[in-house]
Structure 1
Amino acid sequence: MSQSEASVPDAAGRAPPGQGVGRRAWIALGSLWFIYVLNFLDRQLLSILAKPIQDSLNITDSQLGLLGGLYFAMFYCFIAIPVGWLADRTNRVRVLAIACGIWSAATIACGLSRSYAQLAVARMTVGFGEAGGVPPSYAIIADYFPPHRRGMALGLYNLGPPIGAALGIAFGASIAAAFSWRDAFLVVGAVGIVAAIAVVFVVREPRRGGLDGLAVGTVQPKAGFGETLKMFFTSPVLLLASFGSGATQFITYGLGNFATLFLMREKGMALADVAVWYALVVGVGMSAGIFCSGWAIDRFTRRSKRAYGLVPAISLILAIPFYCAFVWAPTWPLALVFLTAPTFLNYFYLSSSVALVQAEVRPNQRVMSGALLLLMMNFIGLGLGPTYVGAASDVFRASHPDHSLQMALYTLVPFYVLAIGLFFWLARVLGRRAKTEIVQ
């Protein structure tokens, strides 16, 4: 066995901690990343195909916002807690595979829906399945990569959403333009079922805490549900990271779920143009932002833990003027030019918050802690963001019938200010704690 292979924690925990990252870890990361791509692609298809779905099922902006927001998030957020608790006590890879199978089957059901009620039930089931996707993956990655490489590893893993969104835009819009919006759901769901079966055979369950300095053979006690819950909700650091991420996601999901509809209905963009140009902006912008944020977190947190809050705060400050210019732009090509900057800058929070939570908790609490982070930021952002924008658009329709979505998107700017304030507060708390530890 080569040295690099020996450094990877296998199911028996034979890997000595502190060594380099081996081939098996990268294979696991790649497999989990592909599942995440499908996770986000399934989730984004609704917003990408909003216009043809609206035309087919005769639904309003408010109803569309509920489908992509509250209805989805009710299951996605709250089911993640028991799933996280279960995965912390059982085989995380199998939990992930079952979850992938459920959300993929539900995606197929979305394509078969013939009414708003059927589509709503299918979307809720997608949310139920996707609740078991990300938290186990965070913890598996944390047990495959040592602490000083986790920021980059999680940054690479978090490229799943932008790649999934870009593929969803390109694939979904192309299929809808050539065939039907239903066909896009059917194909993506079928691919997900195959991936759910494959991941069980490709990814091995790593030893919990194998790269955190625990001695080989150490058996960790199973974390109690109440113990982990109390730890999370009494930690100012974890709460501030969660609320800051939630405020940011209120913007990203509020915008993301209506961007395609906004560009087509109010900027004159065609579905074929969406498949190419909007896909490029989302794919390149989000990917670059998430990758660069992982690098920045690894680099700057070595000097000061305050970087966990400062990096996302500064990125959001820079994003505000470009976001306003995007909403204002009179044509879709100019709008896409301005959108590139906030698409890059809006996602610096993700790698920062995920890496911080994984570093703050014990190895046997990582899945549930990741689930709690997702619960808070996704219920605020995913659950309320699209719901709010859809309702606001319907309210503004009376006074601005041709630009109701534009007015609704302008009202997201105060949430930038809120998120910035929360991340600066997080940086201050981390700074104070570091000074206290030095004194002690």
Structure 2
Amino acid sequence: MGGPWAVVAVLFAFMLLHQTDKLLLGPLTTEIMNTFHIGEDLMGLASTAALLVGLFLYPLWGYLADRFARPALIALASFIWGATTWLSAIAPTYPLFLLTRASTGIDDNAYPSLYSLISDYFGPQLRSRIYGFLQMTGPVGYLMGVALALGLKDLIGWRAIYLITGSLGLIMALLIWRVVREVPRGRSEPELAALAEIPAYRFNLHEVRALLRKPTFLFLVTQGFFGVFPWNVISFWFFRYLEVERGYSNAQIFVVMASAVIVMSLGYLAGGAMGDWLFRRTLRGRLIVSMAGVLAGAVLLAITMSIPPQAFGAFWAMVILTAFTIPLAAPNVLATVFDISPPEIRGSAQALESFIEGSGASLAPFLTGLLAVRTSLHTAILTICVGTWLLCGFLFALAIWSAPRDIMALRAELRARAAQAASGS
């Protein structure tokens, strides 16, 4: 049986390799387009198809996370990742590639089990930092994908690369099954810490309905609808933008993307650490960090993309600065959702939040491709990213206003549960 930090290490490895496989599509875009003789619109559709499949399965994964053993669900997701990636690697035609690529979305949104489980291993004062550490896997996975694409695409081809990453999914499924163990829901909550035995909590539809009436949750999921647009746009299209519209070499692209990803990874850690630190001083702390991050990202990206291609050094420096601000909100949003959600519905709460995020963000690669065909990738990326970040800043301001009341309401509910359990009634 693995202890808390062993569990974190295994889940980090799972997420890192899974994100590497998932985000390989961007760096391999040109090769796949050449293989099937398709344009940006159909290539964007392949990414959107996988996002849509994952989107519609989010509520199911969330419900399962609140009903069944979470480690088994995470292992199942890893197995599905490996199997569907293999199928997409051997697809001989674009229609079959589109179908198999869509099937890779089945496992993409199985994270409610993972994040809910972590919330029961670590208490509220640490969650933003742990989530920030785990969410580093997004940018680091992208960097690994870029490295794999640049290093192996001309040597073994994009299909063989996917066969390798699919095999890793099968290996991780076995490792998760052997190491990660279930713990009682609510075990890490301070209000329940004094109980000798924590009651078994399971999915409760009444609690879900109550969550949907909390203003903070509504503000967060609304900003999430728009907030994931930039990440999906940048992760899918930025490689091609640097390659085609800025005319940078493979070496220049790797330098830009690698340094940006390293700094972005630090941004996840810094965002989580700043959020936890400010949360200990004010219940609004995590959301203050979130609002600052999205507003800074909007301003800095606009400046970055106004720099001419020949000024490579200035562009590179601004990309690095922008990259640091992009992830500041992510660990704090997730931690805040759990700050206002009872333990037995945290899988469903995260699934609902991510479902609403994905319902908008799943269209981002396709819409960007459509806009790029009519204008340019520069215009498409800038318009979508800056516009959505500014809107998110306003929605975070509303959540900052409502958060303390919703957080205190949950803490009062947990204290009441503890008193009831202690009295034996």
Alignment CA distance shift 1:209-1:432 (3 Å):
closer
Rounded to whole Å, the distance in 2 between the matches of 1:434 and 1:188 is: 41
Could you tell me which of 379, 382, 389 is aligned with 1:410?
Answer: 382
What are the within-5 Å matches in structure 2 for residues 185-224 of structure 1? 185-212=162-189, 213-214=191-192, 215-224=195-204
Counterparts of 2:408 and 2:185, CA distance in 1: 31
**Deviation (angstroms), 1:307:** 2.1
Residue of structure 1 in register with 2:316 after alignment: 336
CA RMSD of aligned residues (A): 2.1
TM-aligned CA distance change 1:370 to 1:176, over 3 Å: same
Q: Which residue is 1:7 aligned to? A: none
- Native 8 Å contact 1:310 1:427 kept in 2: yes
1:296 aligned residue (247, 255, 274): 274
Amino acid at match of 1:119: F
Counterparts of 1:30-41 in structure 2, within 5 Å, are 30-41=9-20
Are residues 278 and 56 of structure 1, via their aligned partners in 2, closer, same or farther at CA, if it must alter by over 3 Å? farther
**Structure 2 residue identity aligned to 1:158:** Q
Shift in alpha-carbon separation, 1:370–1:336, aligned structure 2, 3 A = same
Match status 1:245 vs 2:218: no
Report 1:176-187 matches (<5 A).
Answer: 176-187=153-164
Within 5 A, what are the aligned runs for 1:378-417? 378-381=358-361, 383-396=362-375, 404-412=376-384, 413-417=386-390
CA contact (8 A) 1:289 1:348 kept: yes
| Aligned partners of 2:294 and 2:393 also within 8 Å | yes
Counterpart of 1:368, as a letter, is: S
Q: Give the Cα–Cα distance (whole angstroms) in 2 for the partners of residues 416 and 202 of structure 1.
A: 39
Equivalent residue for 1:424, pick from 370, 394, 397: 397
1:130-182 CA distance string (max 9 Å, x none) = 222x1111011111112211121111111111221111111122111333111
Secondary structure of 2:394's partner? helix
2:242 and 2:340 map into 1 onto residues whose CA distance is 41
Structure 1 residues without counterparts, runs of 5 or longer = 1-9, 11-22, 397-403
1:268-315 CA deviation, whole Å, 9 max, x = no partner?
Answer: 1234543x3144134312201100011011100111122232211112
CA apart distance, 1:434: 7.9
Aligned residue for 1:355, secondary structure, equals helix
The residue that corresponds to 2:423 in the other structure is none
Give, as a single letter, the amino acid of the residue that structure 2 aligns with 1:143. Answer: D
Q: CA offsets per residue over residues 176-219 of structure 1, 9 Å max, x none?
A: 13331112111111111111111110111122111214323332
Pairs within 5 Å for 1:123-142 = 123-132=101-110, 134-142=111-119
Report the alpha carbon displacement of residue 419 of structure 1 after superposing the two structures with TM.
Answer: 1.0
Q: In structure 2, what is the equivalent of residue 322 of structure 1? A: 300
| Match of residue 142 from structure 2 | 165
Match of 1:365 in 2: 345
| Superposed CA offset, 1:57-105 (max 9, x none) | 1222122222222x12222122121121112111100001111110221
Structure 2 counterpart of 1:154, which letter? Y
The verdict on how the C-alpha distance between 1:171 and 1:305 changes in structure 2, with shifts beyond 3 A counting, is same
* Residues 1:345 and 2:325 aligned together: yes
Note if contact 1:175-1:184 (Cα within 8 Å) is conserved in structure 2: yes
Query: Partner residue of 1:5?
Result: none
Q: Evaluate the alpha carbon distance shift between residue 374 and residue 254 of structure 1 in structure 2; reply closer, same or farther with a 3 A threshold.
A: same
Aligned to 1:25: 4
Distance 1:362 1:284, change over 3 A: same
1:55 is matched by which residue type in structure 2?
N
Unaligned runs of 5+ in 2: 411-425
Equivalent pair of 1:232/1:238 in contact (CA under 8 Å): yes
- Counterpart of 1:406, as a letter, is H
Q: Which of 11, 25, 28 is equivalent to 1:46?
A: 25
- 1:223 partner SS: coil
The Cα of 1:232 is off from its aligned counterpart by: 3.4
8 A contact 2:185–2:201 mirrored in 1: no
1:78 matched residue in structure 2: 56
- 1: CA distance between counterparts of 2:220 and 2:388? 15
CA contact (8 A) 2:276 2:285 kept: no
Measured in 2, the distance between the counterparts of 1:179 and 1:96 equals 30
The CA deviation at 1:228 is 4.6
Compute the displacement of 1:421 (Å). 0.8
Verify: 1:106 aligned to 2:84, yes or no: yes
Identity among equivalent positions (%) equals 22
Q: What TM-score, normalized to structure 1?
A: 0.87
Matched, 1:146 2:118: no
Instruction: Give the C-alpha shift of residue 346 in structure 1.
Output: 1.1
1:21-65: per-residue Cα shift (whole Å, max 9, x none)?
Answer: xx8101000111111112211211111111111121122212222
Amino acid of the residue matched to residue 121 of structure 2? Y
TM-score between both structures, scaled by the size of structure 2: 0.90
What is the CA distance between 1:244 and its match in structure 2? 1.8
User: Structure 1 residues 248 and 375, CA, compared in 2 at 3 Å: closer, same or farther?
Assistant: same
